[in-house]
């Protein structure tokens, strides 16, 4: 009788070990898949756009310098069409100047 119980117990333990090994394989496969998906998925840039990659003084400069230039254009240039053209040039030139002066950050 005790040999029969021992045999049944051994069978139960063998089945439990197989199930545990299957679960471990499934968990490992899921983990590998998650790592692969994280590696392949592009990283989000964040809600602040690309400005969050720069320091606070740089961000302040990126905003203040073009504003001061635009205000100077509107105060010092008497011709309205020329003011509009110069302001448009400031808006177009600022991104390129930021990259040239501060460098590209990735």
Between CA 89 and CA 12 the distance in angstroms is 79
pLDDT tens figures, 31-75:
999 998 888 887 665 555 555 678 888 889 999 999 999 999 999
Between CA 38 and CA 73 the distance in angstroms is 48
Cβ 85 vs Cβ 72: under 8 Å = no
**pTM of this prediction?**
0.50
Cβ 93 vs Cβ 73: under 8 Å = no
pLDDT category at 103 given cuts 50, 70, 90 is confident
Between CA 9 and CA 15 the distance in angstroms is 10
């Amino acid at each position: 009788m005790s040999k029969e119980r021992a045999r049944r117990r051994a069978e139960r333990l063998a089945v439990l070990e197989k199930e545990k090994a299957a679960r471990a394989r499934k968990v490992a496969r899921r983990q590998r898949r998650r790592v692969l998906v994280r590696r392949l998925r592009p990283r989000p840039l964040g809600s602040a756009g690309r400005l969050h990659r720069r320091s606070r003084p740089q961000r302040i400069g990126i905003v203040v310098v073009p504003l001061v230039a635009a205000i100077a254009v509107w105060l010092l240039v008497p011709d309205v069409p020329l003011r509009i053209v110069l302001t448009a040039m400031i808006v177009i030139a600022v991104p390129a100047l930021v990259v040239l002066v501060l460098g590209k950050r990735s």
